[in-house]
Amino acid sequence: MKTKQNQGLFDCSRRDFVKVAGLGAAAMAIPGLIRNASAAPASGISQEVITTDVLIVGGGIAATFAAIKAKKNGVDVTIVDKGTVGRSGLSPFFGSFRMFKESSSITREQYIEAVSKAGNYLNRRDYLEMYMDDSADIAEEFLSWGVGEQLRGGHGSTYRGQIIKNDIRLIERTMITELFKKNGKIAGAIGFPMEEDRAVIIKAKAVVLCSGSGALKTPGFPCNNITHDGDAMSYRIGAEITGKEFCDFHWTHWEDPGDMYGNWERHSFNAISPGVHTLSSGRRPQARSMALQAHNGNIPFFMRGRSGGSGERPSGTPTGGDTGERPDAAGGVRRAPAGVRSLDLPIVWGSTAGMSSHKCEGIFPKGNKCSSSIPGLFAAGDALFTGGATYSSGGSSASGSAVQGARAGRYAAEYVKENKQQNISDSELAQSKERIFAPRTSEKGFSPIWVTQVLQGIMVPYYVINIKKQIRLEAALSNVEFLREQFAPNLLANDTHQLRLAHETRNMLLNSEMKLRAGLMRTETRGDHYREDYPDTDDKNWLAWIIITKDGDNMKLTRRAIPGAWKPQR
Ligand SMILES: Cc1cc2nc3c(=O)[nH]c(=O)nc-3n(C[C@H](O)[C@H](O)[C@H](O)COP(=O)(O)OP(=O)(O)OC[C@H]3O[C@@H](n4cnc5c(N)ncnc54)[C@H](O)[C@@H]3O)c2cc1C
């Protein structure tokens, strides 16, 4: 791992190290060099080999449905979750679960047009059709798990219960870090558990990535354990990634920004209410207007949002969360319940910085069977791009993940019945193990926590990730490239928890680079991508996705036009 170029960086005396460690807050400006007292060669690290038909990576609603459906289709299934099922990813936190049912108030055609318009025509219509076909049945199945009664206490525990009930092999607190590809097809994956230095090798005929999306470990949304690992792993073996320029605009509170329950009461303690979702967003989501107002100096923003634009309290409706008093079913007024923040308090940006809007980023589906460009590699939920340029159908993110998970599980089972296990040689396994444990086996290196903090400083400001301009994107990109070259190969982990942080940091760096490059390439404004220097939507050139692939050591971005039949009818 140590190149000639970076050997000098490691040349740090013990006294220098103590000085750096003792600098406290000022250390932000100085490389977080650390030493590893327990460094040992990777060859001495034990390994466990598991063989299965279908490996599901993740433990949210997509993974749970994928595993159940694959198992019901007669194949052996293993789920691996980085955290504990029901407590990790975004799934434990959603509050509305929608489905489509054709009715006199909305026809199938009207729904397709409304969602496509809201998604700025970049949504995958084939997956919208899948959602419309399956969501009612999936909602019924979900409710049959008893989630209705569990909502106020959180429905996460339901997933675990279903996995165990269906006798599915479950491995928790284990991070998958690399996928194996052999003869052009998927062959399995490798990772490690949080508690000890051990490689977990899973030989599988098919892998379903239900690893969710990711962010930059910002406060606000509880998204700290997801870091775009699925995108990163599949990009590294050649899969197509897309949607990185569409940046989520969720907010948080300026006091205790991590107080998710106080700030997001509506999402946490709502009831599941299957029903047709009514669409209101147009081609330019209101969400963006708040960042623009901040940019123009109209601050602060209040939880109540719009109040007539008096200058003292500028207009703008926060995305999600409590937006003020609302009429209740009995004809009265509903206020935020006790323990929930006053709606008159100010809010701040960046609760999900580094994330795209739900389902607007991830693996680009090849065809309509949740498959990627690599045979045997499937994806579902937030790990799969299907949404478009903005969150085009509120409440369909959770149910859409469930629908896609169920389909992906079924398709993966069908695939394994026709494809044999690809062989991974011992030397390939040894090399992979060497790469994964490099931060544990090095003696000196950089703290992943420090690198993440520096990355947050570069990426999180609203004027980088939300309100974009060429010069600022280029400046951020040059900084991210520097972090990638200088620090990413030399991260150090004193224990397996830090090993996880090291891999997460690498993945966040990769995701940031994708976001900046895609943001630069799309020279227009569309959905949740706003370019200050290109404020207009350019349908002539940009009814297209940006496809990101690995080209040797370079990141390649290609424009791919949407099918003619999906273009807006003018
Ligand atoms: C506060 C909040 C409110 C929300 N409100 C709504 C709502 O009202 N309606 C709605 O439709 N949607 C809502 N959403 C979004 C919704 O929760 C998600 O779209 C959905 O849960 C995604 O499900 P998923 O299974 O695809 O991913 P996730 O639930 O994010 O699961 C990803 C899983 O992958 C695991 N994982 C990640 N990387 C690895 C790795 N390397 N190795 C092993 N495992 C890994 C994680 O531990 C996690 O278990 C909300 C989200 C939040 C946070």
Q: List the beta bridge partners of residue 207.
A: 55, 377
| DSSP alpha helix (H) spans, 264-315 | 265-268, 287-295
**CA 552 to ligand 1 center in whole angstroms:** 31
Residue with tokens 């009207």: 110
Cα separation values, 171 from 79, 145, 471, 532, Å: 6, 22, 45, 46
Tokens of 114: 């409304």
| DSSP alpha helix (H) spans, 445-495 | 448-459, 462-465, 470-486
- Contacts for 125 with CB less than 8 Å, ≥ 6 apart: 112, 116, 566
Q: What is the pLDDT of residue 41?
A: 79
Question: Nearest 5°: phi and psi at 241?
Answer: -120, 145
Average pLDDT for residues 251-256, to the nearest whole number?
Answer: 78
Q: Is 222 in the pocket of ligand 1 (CB under 6 A)?
A: yes
Q: Is 212 in the pocket of ligand 1 (CB under 6 A)?
A: yes
Confidence band for 284, pLDDT divided at 50, 70 and 90: very low
**CA 84 to ligand 1 center in whole angstroms:** 13
Over residues 184-217, the pLDDT tens digits come to 999 999 999 999 999 999 999 999 999 999 999 9
Q: What is the pLDDT of residue 539?
A: 96
**CA 39 to ligand 1 center in whole angstroms:** 35
Over residues 22-69, the pLDDT tens digits come to 333 444 556 777 777 777 777 889 999 999 999 999 999 999 999 999
Q: Is residue 299 over pLDDT 80?
A: no
Q: Is 386 in the pocket of ligand 1 (CB under 6 A)?
A: no
Q: Is 400 in the pocket of ligand 1 (CB under 6 A)?
A: no
Q: Is 159 in the pocket of ligand 1 (CB under 6 A)?
A: no
Question: What's the CA angle centered on 361, arms 82 and 421, to 5 degrees?
Answer: 55
Q: What is the pLDDT of residue 325?
A: 56
Q: Is 61 in the pocket of ligand 1 (CB under 6 A)?
A: yes
**CA 379 to ligand 1 center in whole angstroms:** 13
Q: Is 226 in the pocket of ligand 1 (CB under 6 A)?
A: yes
Q: Is 96 in the pocket of ligand 1 (CB under 6 A)?
A: yes
Pocket test for ligand 1, best of 55, 78, 91 (most atoms within 8 A of CB): 91
Over residues 483-535, the pLDDT tens digits come to 999 999 999 999 999 999 999 999 999 999 999 999 999 999 998 899 999 99
**CA 58 to ligand 1 center in whole angstroms:** 9
Rounded Cα–Cα distance for residues 266 and 151 (Å): 12
Residue 408, helix vs strand vs coil: helix
**CA 89 to ligand 1 center in whole angstroms:** 4
- For residues 230 and 108, is the Cβ–Cβ distance under 8 A? no
Q: What is the pLDDT of residue 322?
A: 46
Average pLDDT for residues 406-413, to the nearest whole number?
Answer: 98
Over residues 111-143, the pLDDT tens digits come to 898 889 888 999 999 999 999 999 989 988 998
- Contacts for 487 with CB less than 8 Å, ≥ 6 apart: 31, 446, 451
Rounded Cα–Cα distance for residues 222 and 240 (Å): 27
Ligand 1 atom nearest 383 alpha carbon: 26
User: What percent of the chain clears pLDDT 90, i.e. is strictly above it?
Assistant: 60
Which one, of 547, 521, 392, 541, lies nearest residue 468 by Cα?
Answer: 521
**CA 88 to ligand 1 center in whole angstroms:** 8
Over residues 360-396, the pLDDT tens digits come to 999 999 999 999 999 999 999 999 999 999 887 766 8
Cα separation values, 181 from 2, 235, 238, Å: 26, 12, 9
Look at 346 and 422; give whichever has higher pLDDT.
422
- For residues 526 and 389, is the Cβ–Cβ distance under 8 A? yes
Q: Is 83 in the pocket of ligand 1 (CB under 6 A)?
A: yes
Q: Is 175 in the pocket of ligand 1 (CB under 6 A)?
A: yes
Rounded Cα–Cα distance for residues 230 and 363 (Å): 8
Mean pLDDT score of the chain, rounded to an integer? 84
Q: Is residue 148 over pLDDT 70?
A: no
Cα separation values, 159 from 65, 134, 228, Å: 9, 19, 21
Rounded Cα–Cα distance for residues 181 and 48 (Å): 19
Question: What's the CA angle centered on 128, arms 125 and 130, to 5 degrees?
Answer: 115
Which one, of 370, 329, 70, lies nearest residue 204 by Cα?
Answer: 70
Write the residue with the smallest CA distance to atom 5 of ligand 1. Answer: 94
Residue with tokens 């354990």: 225
Q: Where in the chain is the domain with CATH 1.20.58.100?
A: 11-42+434-540
**CA 327 to ligand 1 center in whole angstroms:** 30
Q: What is the pLDDT of residue 191?
A: 98
Q: Is 201 in the pocket of ligand 1 (CB under 6 A)?
A: no
Q: Which helix (H) or strand (E) holds 51?
A: strand 46-57
Q: Where in 295-406 does DSSP place strands (E)? A: 301-302, 326-327, 333-334, 346-349, 362-363, 377-379
Average pLDDT for residues 343-349, to the nearest whole number?
Answer: 72
Question: Per CATH, is 44-252+352-418 categorized as 3.10.105.10?
Answer: no
Q: What is the pLDDT of residue 43?
A: 81
Cα separation values, 377 from 199, 235, 453, Å: 21, 12, 33
Ligand 1 atom nearest 98 alpha carbon: 11
Q: Where in the chain is the domain with CATH 3.50.50.60?
A: 44-252+352-418
Q: What is the CATH number of domain 11-42+434-540?
A: 1.20.58.100
User: What percent of the chain clears pLDDT 70, i.e. is strictly above it?
Assistant: 79
Total-model pTM: 0.90
Q: Is residue 428 over pLDDT 80?
A: yes
Confidence band for 305, pLDDT divided at 50, 70 and 90: low
Q: Where in 365-490 does DSSP place strands (E)? A: 377-379, 444-446, 467-468
- Percent of residues in the chain assigned helix, strand, coil, to nearest 5: 40, 20, 45
Amino acid letter for position 327: P
- For residues 202 and 52, is the Cβ–Cβ distance under 8 A? yes
Which one, of 510, 545, 530, lies nearest residue 214 by Cα?
Answer: 510
**CA 277 to ligand 1 center in whole angstroms:** 20
Tokens of 8: 């000098």
Ligand 1 atom nearest 226 alpha carbon: 37
Q: What is the pLDDT of residue 10?
A: 35
Over residues 150-180, the pLDDT tens digits come to 555 567 888 999 999 999 999 999 999 999 9
